[in-house]
Structure 1
Amino acid sequence: MSSVLQYLTGRKKNKKPGILWITFITVLSYGQPTQETLSHKSYIAYHTTENITIDGIPSEEAWQKISPTGLFTDIEGHKTPKYSTSVKILWDKECIYFLAEMEEPHVWGNLKQKDTIIFYNNDFEIFIDPDNDTHNYYEFEINALNTLWDLFITKPYREGTPVLNDWDAKGFQSAIQIQGTLNNPDDTDKGWTLEIAIPLAVFKTSYFHDNNPANKFWRVNFSRVNWDFQLINNKYSRKKDSKGNFAAEYNWVWSPTGVIDMHRPEDWGYVYFSLKEAGLQDNFTIPEDEKVKQLLYELYRKQKKYFNKNKRWATSIQELLQSSRNIYDKNIAPTLENHQTGWNISAVSPYTQHTYIIKEDGKIIQKEK
């Protein structure tokens, strides 16, 4: 879901109070996927020593040696988009590089001022949460005119955070090649290619912060907002219905979130930054501890719903888990702690014995054993 849309807005009991032992089993789900049954995508970004020229043309050998992501799907995860989209990712000691290739028979755009609401045009969007705590993440939106909207978001919009439009991604580079003619309704285009370089320094949170992603994963997602259009005086604009309202946009993404909302970093994909050079092969498996975090986010959402219904926070795990679904294969004992300014829910991972804590604002904290 686009930024401004958000801006405007089974069980075995343990005798110890406040603790509920949950035995999770793996379940296969058929039919339309839900938010809980959607699997998160993963991708290996390979290292390159080749100089990448940002010109919108993937002529470098490194681009040719790597595979793209799978084709994008509808954000809810159960529709096939009208037009195909895929992305490739490379990195080196200075930058992360993205190459998006988008099928589009009518390439158009009219927003030329930086930091305007770019998704009012067809656009391509990148979301990045380097430390996987769902806070302090980055968003980049670009239209076919190569107009950028870059944002730094301290918390997901569900927590009432403001839009930080004055933040700038220093050193950001992008270039576009159009397979057709921009803003020409008299022909049929093939699409557009977007090449991007984002300096790693953009993601530094302090002077001495070591944000080298080598052999680590970051939470990442990509979105493509696409609109039905109409022609007025032979110029493109978003289509309106008979009442003068804009028709709803299409939201096509790499890793579906299950709901029309991109600002759910806990549901983004995983990009692993391999030190192996493009053309070689590496392996990456999403860590088992991510299952524990997903449980905590399920409880976080239940706690929010509980408050909306009862006008108070739940004080025991039992109040939240009456309809819990079995989705894992290990015993986990989440605990709920209320305090004056909110609450914490914690769980010890059965895989690593690390403790994970989710706060009332959705931030995840990890404590190693």
Structure 2
Amino acid sequence: MIRALPALLLAATAAVPAAAQTFTWGERNTDFAPAFPEQFRAELATSDVELERALVAGNLVHPWGIAVLPDGEGCLVTERPGRMRMLMEDGTLSEPISGLPEVYAQKQGGLLDVAVGPTFAEDRTIYVTYAKPMGDGMSATAAAKMVLSEDGRSVSKVEDIFVQGPPSPSPMHYGSRIVFPGDGTAVITTGEHFTEEERDYAQDLDKTYGKVVRVNLDGSIPEGNPFVGQDGAEDAIWSLGHRNIQGAAVDADGTLWTIEHGPKGGDELNRPEAGLNYGWPVVSYGEQYSGEAVGSGQASMEGMEQPVYFWDPVIAPGGMDFHSGDSFAEWNGDALIGSLYPGGVVRLSFDAEGRVSEEERLLREVGRVRDVEVMDDGSFLILTDFENGGVYRITPKG
């Protein structure tokens, strides 16, 4: 959850119904039966509210992450080519902030997520994730901490707290969200870099491909990581068997949730737990882009965890956040998830057991949504991932 920006300029306002068009699920890619009824195609909901969409800032090149600073200072927005800007309260964008690390801006690589650190009020530390150039056309998912200057124009004391290993020749599937579960650690998500050889690395404990990673804020290994001391294992690994985790958030109870891209079908919502294996590329509810089966050709296997929920066809997830606040109060506790394809925002409600009870498709007309951030008042910001992408604020009409 992030702070409000009460004075943020709202321009180019448009009111749209919560469900602008009739939504239908679409044809499946596979015919795997869900493991339990609430795991797939929950009841479709339509909110009785109109959404007001206001353009806050435009002309951003593939914006990827957004983080609102405390005390009305503005917010930070990353652009995948390697820029980060301050978005001021009056809606103006700063020049690119200086001092950022060099990024590998090829295909899906570049400057990715940004987050305000838990100790920002004392030391102005922020965190970014990015595709780190490793030489000879190689790159890796990395997370770095740095100190934002008082005027917001530069960063200093840049230090990596995590670098994925080994480096990859494929500039794809970096994963790359960073969140703070409230225990003094940082959780970083990674991808498996897409290629046929590398996808198997998601099962390897000596590689941080397709993993949830947990480190202390200085990059050291925290207590409680499950594979510490295991021969050959990377100490930072928290869970394994993931594909390309591009959404992560912590709910009001402090529980970590992630959402990852499947291939054709099989996008997954998970609650990663220490030491557990989430199956990729051995089991999946999707199929390869070629139409061939994934791994074992099964959707479940003993010793591999089932997702809380899956999609087929996909939503191609971006960032996610949990809702709270007076605006859209009926959504409090729901997950809001960016969708890159077919686009818009996916809202999920949960029952008392933490299973999905309903799903709604919102703002499909805006196209590719890369990130979602809920503000203190319950309104929320979305980033549209285009060559001329933008930041929009979503409020109830009126």
TM-score range, shorter chain: under 0.3
Higher strand fraction (1 or 2): 2
Whose RCO is larger (CA < 8 A, sep 6+)?
A: 1
TM-score by length of 2: 0.26
Higher helix fraction (1 or 2): 1
TM-score by length of 1: 0.28
